[in-house]
Amino acid sequence: MKFRGLVRILCFAAAVLAAGTVRAQDAASDWVRHPEVSVRLVAATSDTGTARALRLGIEIALKKGWKTYWRSPGDAGLPVEIDWNGSANLAQAKLRHPVPQRFELFGIETTGYAGNVILPVEATLAEAGKPASLRAGVDLLVCEDVCIPYRADLSLDLPAGVGTPSAQAHDIARFASLVPPVDVDGKGANGLVIEGADLRRGPQGALLARVRADPALTAPDILVEGPPGWSFARPVVRLAEGGRSATLTVAAVAGPGAAPFAAGGEVTLTLIDGARAVERTLGVGNAPPAAPPGTLLAMLAVALLGGLILNLMPCVLPVLAMKLASLVKLDRHAAGAVRRTFLATAAGVVFAFLLLASALVALRLTGEAVGWGLQFQQPWFLSGMAIVVVAFAANLWGWFEIRLPDAVADASAAKPLAGAFATGMFATLLATPCSAPFVGTAVGFALAQGPGEIYAIFAALGLGLAAPYLTVAAVPAAARLVPKPGAWMLVLRRALGLALAGTAAWLVWVLAAQIGWLAAGTLAAALVVLAAGLFALRARTQARARVAVVLAVALLGLLLPPKLAYEPVRGPDDPAIGWQRFDRAAIDAALAEGKTVFVDVTADWCVTCQVNKRLVLSQPAVTARLNAAGIVAMKADWTRPDARISAYLAEFGRYGIPFNAVYGPAAPGGNALPELLTVDAVLAALDAAGGR
C-alpha cells in the first residue's frame, strides 16, 4: 500500500512537471515579409472561447531606421488601415493605438512607431463559442529617407474552445496597456486630467490646453487631433504648482483647404507623461489673440505710457512723497547736482525693473507662475518692505539717519547718488501692487514672449515710471519752483512720514490676510519697537545703537512671523454680493445652463483692485445686477499664490491684476474688462455677454 501511494505521488508530480513544460500554442498568421517591414495577425487566445469579445493584434516588425504612422500622422504620412472583408463570424473590429513616438526630419514632425509594435484590436464575434475565420487586409506606409506603401493580406482561423491563452497573449496585453484610456466625463485617468482647451486665432494661432496631474508631471507632451487640414506642433509647456498643473500651448496652422475651426469645435487631445497617458475629446473655448510679429515697437510705446500713468496710481502715493522730499532738499543746489541726483533716481527705477524682469525670466525657465506684483504674495517680502517703510518714515521725522564719517563723506561724492539710486529702486517695489491702464497689456505681451521681449518691455515700463525724474534732470530749473526752505518743510516731512506709516499699516494688513493676525501682529509689534527705539535713540551720538536697533528688529520681523503663520479663515469681503469661489470648470458648467458669469480676480495687496471694489463693484446698481437671477458672481482671490488663478490669467495673456471678465451666451470665451472699472462698463459688459 505504501509503495502504491508513493507511485501515485510520483505520477502526479510528473504530470505537474509535464504540464509546466507545455508551451502555449501560437495563435498567429504567417508573416507577410517585405524588405523593410514584416506584418502578421495575432490573437490572445488559441480559440474563440465562450464570450463574444476577442483580443487581437496587428504585429508590425520594422527594420532599423524605418517607421510607420499613428492614427494622426502629423505633417506627413498615412495611418495604418485594416480591411476585414472576407472574415467569418466577426461582427466588428476596432483598432486601438498605443502611445506613439515623435519623429522630426527637415523640420517636418510626424508621430508613429519604430522597431516592433502590436496595434491591439478589440474584436466582437457575431456568435459566441463558434469558430472564427479572420481575414485582414493591412495597408501601411513605412518611411526612412523614402516612403513605401505596402499591403499585407493576413489569414487566421480560430477554432471553438474555452479561450486558452496563446503564446502571443502577453505581448498583446503589454501593448494594450500602452493605449491611453479615454476620459469621457472629465475626471481623468492615470493621475492625469485634461481640464479644457481654448483656441487662440490670429497670425500666431494656437491651442491652449489646461491639464492637472497627481503625481506631478515630469515630461508632459500632448498630441492634438483637430479638423482636417490643420497641423499642430510640439507644445510649449508651462508648469505650475510644482508640476501638478500646466498649460500646454500648441501652434495651430491651417493648411490649404482646411476645414473651419473655431471656438465650439471639437478636438481630441492625448496627454502623455512618461509611461502614463489619457485621451479626451472636448469642445474648445476662445482665447484672446496673440500679438502678431512686428508689434514690439508698438508695445514698447504702450509700456512707456503705462509706466508714466503708474505714477498717478494710488499705491504710488508714498513714492510721490519721497519725490517731494528729495526735491525740497535739492531746490537750492546747483543745476549739475540736481541733474545727477535725479538721473541716479531714474537709474534706480530702471534697474529695479530689470531686476524684476530677470526674476520673471528665471521663474519661467523653472516652470513657476509669473506675473506682475507677485512678490506681494510672499510674506518675507511684505515684512521686509514694512520694516524699510517704517525706517523711511522715521528718517522723515528726523529720528533716524545714518551718517558716514566726515572724512569719508567729504571724499565720496557717491553718497547722495547712492541714496537717490536706492530711492528709485524702492519706488519701483512700492509701485508693483498697482496695474495701471496699459501696464497689464504690456506685461501680458512680454510674458507671452521670450526673455528679450521681457527685458525690453520692463525697461520701457521703468523709463515711464522714471519720466518725472528724467524731466527734472533735463530741466533742473524746475527744482527752483519749490518755495524757499522754511517751517513748512518740517510740516511736510511729518505729513509724508505719516503717509509712509500708513503704507506700513497696509502691508501688515496684507500680511494678515496671507498668514494670519498672529504673525501680522508680531510684525506690527516689531515695527512699534523699531519706531520707539529710533525715537529714544534719535541723538546723533547714538548712531551705532540706532543701526543695532534696526538690524535686530529687521531680523525679528523677517524670521518670527513665518514661524507663527497659519492660513486664516476668510469670510466674504463684500456680503452684499453672493460671491462664489473661483472654479474654472464651474464657469463652463454655468455657461451650459445659459447663465452669465462675472469673474473678479483680486488680491488684498492690489490697491487698484480695492479702488474698483469700493467705487464700482460696491455700487447699488452693480450689486443688484450681480445678485440677479441667471448671473454668477465669481471671485478669484490671488492674495496668496494660486497656480489655478495664474493659469486662468494666462488664458487671456494677462499676468497682473486687477482683472475682470464676463462670460455668457453671447461671450462663451469671456470678454476682458479694462483695469479701471466703471459702473457703466460693468453693466454694459453683462448686457453684451447675456445677449441683450
Phi, psi of 485 (to 5 degrees): -55, 145
In which band, very low, low, confident or very high, does the pLDDT at 219 lie, cut at 50, 70 and 90? confident
How far apart CA 237 and CA 249 sit, in angstroms, is 7
Contacts for 562 with CB less than 8 Å, ≥ 6 apart: 379, 380, 515, 519
- Say yes or no to pLDDT of 640 above 50: yes
Q: Give the containing element (helix H, strand E) for 85.
A: none
Q: Are 88 and 131 part of one and the same domain?
A: yes
Range with the lowest mean pLDDT among 7-16, 170-179, 388-397?
Answer: 7-16
Q: Are 409 and 494 part of one and the same domain?
A: yes
pTM of the model: 0.48
285-287/192-200 β-pairing: parallel
Partner residues linked to 672 by β-bridges: 661
For every residue of 502-553, which 3-state class applies, written as one string?
HHHHHHHHHHHHHHCHHHHHHHHHHHHHHHHHHHHCCCHHHHHHHHHHHHHH
Q: Are 438 and 300 part of one and the same domain?
A: yes
Distance from the Cα of residue 655 to its chain's centroid: 10
How far apart CA 305 and CA 303 sit, in angstroms, is 5
Q: State the pLDDT at residue 477.
A: 66
| Residue 422 or 368, more confident | 422
The owner of cell 456680503 is 575
* Residue at which a domain ends, from 226, 255, 287: 287
Report whether 140 contacts 70 (CB < 8 A): no
Q: Are 553 and 451 part of one and the same domain?
A: yes
The DSSP symbol for 28 reads: B
Give the residue numbers spanning the domain of 371: 296-563
Helices 467-474, 317-330: crossing angle, 10 deg rounding: 20
In which band, very low, low, confident or very high, does the pLDDT at 262 lie, cut at 50, 70 and 90? confident
**What single string gives the DSSP state of each residue in 463-517?**
HHHTHHHHHHHH-GGGGGGSPPSSHHHHHHHHHHHHHHHHHHHHHHHHHHHHH-H
192 domain-assigned? no
Reported as half-sphere exposure (CB side, CA atoms, 13 A), residue 483 has a value of 6
Q: Are 57 and 77 part of one and the same domain?
A: yes
568 domain-assigned? no
Partner residues linked to 237 by β-bridges: 248
Q: State the pLDDT at residue 323.
A: 54
Report whether 222 contacts 301 (CB < 8 A): no
Tell me the percentage of the chain whose pLDDT exceeds 90.
27
22 domain-assigned? no
What does the mean pLDDT of the chain come to?
78
Mean pLDDT of 607-632: 87
- Say yes or no to pLDDT of 622 above 80: yes
Q: State the pLDDT at residue 410.
A: 40
Note the pLDDT tens digit of each residue in 281-296: 988 876 655 555 546 7
Q: Is the dihedral of CA 237, 240, 246, 251 positive or negative?
A: negative
Q: Are 92 and 232 part of one and the same domain?
A: no
Q: Are 280 and 300 part of one and the same domain?
A: no
* Residue at which a domain ends, from 287, 304, 324: 287
Mean pLDDT of 497-526: 75
Q: Are 266 and 312 part of one and the same domain?
A: no
Q: Are 276 and 209 part of one and the same domain?
A: yes
How far apart CA 523 and CA 63 sit, in angstroms, is 70
Q: State the pLDDT at residue 220.
A: 92
184 domain-assigned? no
Q: Are 280 and 309 part of one and the same domain?
A: no
| Residue 349 or 535, more confident | 349
Q: Give the containing element (helix H, strand E) for 419.
A: helix 414-431
| Residue 39 or 369, more confident | 39
- Say yes or no to pLDDT of 561 above 70: no
The DSSP symbol for 615 reads: I
The shares of helix, strand and coil residues in the chain, as percent rounded to the nearest 5, are 45, 25, 30
523 domain-assigned? yes
Note the pLDDT tens digit of each residue in 397-437: 777 654 433 433 343 344 567 777 877 776 676 665 555 55
* C-alpha pair distances (Å), 622 with each of 224, 672, 684: 41, 17, 11
| Residue 224 or 21, more confident | 224
Note the pLDDT tens digit of each residue in 29-59: 999 999 999 999 999 999 999 999 999 999 9
Report whether 95 contacts 58 (CB < 8 A): yes
Range with the lowest mean pLDDT among 202-216, 308-322, 604-618?
Answer: 308-322
Q: State the pLDDT at residue 502.
A: 76
Note the pLDDT tens digit of each residue in 94-115: 999 999 999 887 667 889 999 9
Q: State the pLDDT at residue 471.
A: 81
Q: State the pLDDT at residue 599.
A: 94
| Residue 543 or 116, more confident | 116
In which band, very low, low, confident or very high, does the pLDDT at 19 lie, cut at 50, 70 and 90? very low
C-alpha cell at 406: 566726515
Report whether 605 contacts 377 (CB < 8 A): yes
* Residue at which a domain ends, from 537, 563, 589: 563
The owner of cell 492615470 is 190
114 domain-assigned? yes
381 domain-assigned? yes
Q: Are 257 and 306 part of one and the same domain?
A: no
Mean pLDDT of 372-393: 69
- Say yes or no to pLDDT of 175 above 80: yes
Domain total for the chain?
4
The DSSP symbol for 199 reads: E
Mean pLDDT of 582-596: 88
Q: Are 553 and 634 part of one and the same domain?
A: no
- Say yes or no to pLDDT of 248 above 50: yes
Partner residues linked to 636 by β-bridges: 601
- The CATH number of residue 603's host domain is 3.40.30.10
What is the separation, in whole angstroms, between the first and last Cα of the chain?
99
- The CATH number of residue 259's host domain is 2.60.40.10
266-273/596-602 β-pairing: unpaired
- The CATH number of residue 45's host domain is 2.60.40
| Residue 382 or 51, more confident | 51
324 domain-assigned? yes
The owner of cell 509594435 is 117
